[in-house]
Amino acid sequence: MAIWHRKPTTEARHEALTSFGFCAILRVIASVFIINILNIKTMEWENKTKMVQLGNQRYNSDEAKKEFQEFVLKNIDSFDGQAWDMFCNLVDLIVEEMKKDLDFWKGVYIKIKDVDCNDEKFGFRSGMRIAMIQTICEDELSLS
């Protein structure tokens, strides 16, 4: 029994490419839709680097500290796991110092209280620091 293969016509190739392109477009639309529905947050890499730079400069002056805090509060809605990891390793967890910046920690606590510090995306150190921030905000700063 002979199996005949027919060479695809230009029209068939065009249809295949179009349907592939259409499927790719549908996948992109679906992923954007899912991200929006699930409210998955992502912070742009440029903003993460900016946060780290500001965090490393916050000891230089009160203005630098204020700039870091304002940046964090402005961008905290877009924090993803990596941004939380960076943030929790930038800040000092000294209760007396945190009490001086109560307004800042109120804004942070509103968001960080919902972060699952046991999530496997966080390493041991970051998970512990997130839990410490949550505990300090609740027990020492009375923000709960």
71 — pLDDT class (breaks 50, 70, 90): very high
Q: Which domain holds residue 120?
A: 45-140
Kindly state whether residue 6 falls inside one of the protein's structural domains: no
| Co-location of 30 and 58 in the same domain | no
Same-domain check for residues 49 and 77: yes
φ, ψ at 128 (rounded to 5°): -65, -40
Answer yes or no: do 54 and 33 share one domain: no
More confident position, 63 or 13: 63
Let me know whether 72 and 121 are in one domain. Answer: yes
- How many structural domains compose the chain? 2
Lowest mean pLDDT among 41-55, 65-79, 103-117: 41-55
The verdict on 88 and 73 lying in the same domain is yes
**pLDDT higher than 50, residue 1:** no
